[in-house]
């Protein structure tokens, strides 16, 4: 049982993690070793006080060093769903359930634009969690769209259960990539349609038919991540302490709304952590 689980390794999540750690809490933080793709791509940042004219890459290095100096390691796994028990939280991480007293959501807003038909067919042959639903597709044919290397473990797992697995990566595969039992599709997904029990993934070059289609995003959108979470548009509602409508569940950074800025995210991460540290 962790004291605090932080989901997301952008500036908000990192700030939450260091602030909770300083308060001597047992913290786990889920994210990516490279921290934040958005941060890495920023050519020049000049509005985070103390770092004039720094590149996103350099700033990410500073953040990494801060984590290292405090012995914080990022757990590179995807949290599929958060279950509030009323007393604490269960987090579905791969095939494991991890428990935490408090949870801080700092997943940003970059969920990728949905494919046409994706939202309409969600839960009806289309899903975001292949690991969770793979047993329903035992011996059946599935297509997985993966938005990053984080998806590959899940694809591998599905090849052990499902009849056939087609994998469509929307990122550049590593040179040494290999999942022997998955068929790799190099195409651009456009739309998902339904015909009886079958679902069709219409791509730029070709169309593919299967029993189920999974779209694996770095982060599930918040309404998928935790049922009952109150939103305003795509943003999670929070109070002044960064607590959501679910007691013990906090949010910070871009996911809570505009402006999408580092200093703001870092400040909110701190607030979320400090209030999450209160019993």
* Enclosing H/E stretch for 208: strand 207-210
Q: Cα separation of 107 and 221, whole Å?
A: 9
Least Å distance, CB 13 to a second copy, is: 10
Are 145 and 216 in contact by the 8 Å Cβ rule? The answer is yes
Least Å distance, CB 76 to a second copy, is 20
CB 154 within 8 A of CB 165: no
Task: Report the nearest approach of a second copy to the CB of residue 110 (Å).
Answer: 20
Task: Give yes or no for residue 109 binding a second copy (CB under 8 A).
Answer: no
Taking the complex as a whole, the smallest distance from the CB of residue 210 to a second copy amounts, in Å, to 43
Q: How far apart are CA 168 and CA 187, in angstroms?
A: 7
Q: How far is the CB of 247 from a second copy (least distance, A)?
A: 19
The backbone torsions φ and ψ at residue 30, rounded to the nearest 5 degrees and listed phi first, read: -100, 135
In the complex with a second copy, the residue whose CB is nearer, 249 or 266, is 266
Kindly write out the interface string for residues 12-41 of this chain, putting x where it contacts a second copy by CB under 8 A and - elsewhere.
--xx--xx--x-------------------
> At its nearest, how many Å lie between a second copy and the CB of residue 190?
36
Nearer to a second copy, 80 or 264 (CB): 264
- In terms of DSSP bridges, do strands 249-251 and 141-146 run parallel, antiparallel, or are they unpaired? unpaired
Q: Which residues contact 16 (CB under 8 A, 6 or more apart)?
A: 4, 6, 29, 104, 106, 250, 252, 269, 270, 272, 273, 276
Of 71 and 86, nearer to a second copy (C-beta) is: 71
Residue 267 touches a second copy, criterion: CB under 8 A: yes
- Distance (Å, whole) CA 56 – CA 13: 16
Nearer to a second copy, 30 or 92 (CB): 30
Does residue 173 interact with a second copy by CB under 8 A? no
The distance of closest approach from Cβ of residue 260 to a second copy in the complex, given in angstroms and rounded to an integer, is 10
Q: Which is nearer to a second copy, 33 or 49 (CB)?
A: 49
Decide if residue 268 touches a second copy (CB under 8 A). yes
Residue 53 CB neighbours (<10 A)? 8
DSSP state letter for 59? H
Alpha-carbon distance of 140 to 202, in angstroms, equals: 19
Piece in contact with a second copy (CB under 8 A), picked from 122-130, 164-172, 214-222, 256-264: 256-264
Which positions lie near a second copy, rule CB under 8 A?
Answer: 11, 14-15, 18-19, 22, 46-53, 59, 62-63, 65-66, 69-70, 240, 257, 259, 261, 263-271, 274
């Amino acid at each position: 049982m962790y004291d605090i689980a932080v989901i997301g390794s952008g500036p908000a999540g990192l700030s939450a993690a260091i602030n909770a750690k300083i308060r001597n809490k047992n913290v786990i933080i889920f994210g990516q070793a490279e921290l934040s793709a958005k941060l890495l791509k920023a050519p020049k940042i000049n509005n985070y006080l103390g770092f004039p004219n720094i590149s996103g890459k350099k700033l990410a290095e500073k953040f990494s060093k801060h984590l290292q100096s405090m012995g914080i390691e990022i757990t590179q796994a995807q949290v599929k769903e958060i279950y509030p028990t009323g007393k604490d939280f269960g987090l579905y991480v791969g095939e494991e359930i991890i428990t935490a007293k408090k949870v801080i959501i700092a997943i940003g807003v970059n969920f990728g634009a949905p494919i046409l038909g994706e939202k309409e067919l969600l839960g009806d042959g289309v899903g975001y969690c292949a690991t969770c639903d793979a047993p329903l597709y035992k011996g059946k044919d599935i297509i997985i769209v993966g938005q990053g290397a984080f998806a590959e473990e899940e694809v591998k797992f599905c090849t052990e259960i499902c009849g056939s697995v087609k994998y469509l990566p929307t990122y550049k595969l590593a040179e040494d990539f290999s999942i022997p039992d998955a068929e790799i599709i190099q195409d651009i997904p456009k739309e998902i349609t339904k015909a009886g029990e079958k679902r069709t993934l219409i791509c730029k070059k070709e169309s593919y038919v299967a029993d189920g289609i999974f779209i694996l995003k770095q982060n599930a959108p918040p309404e998928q991540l935790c049922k009952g979470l109150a939103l305003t548009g795509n943003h999670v509602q929070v109070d002044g302490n960064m607590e959501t409508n679910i007691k013990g569940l906090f949010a910070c950074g871009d996911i809570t709304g505009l402006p999408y800025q580092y200093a703001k995210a870092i400040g909110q991460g701190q607030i979320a952590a400090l209030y999450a540290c209160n019993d």
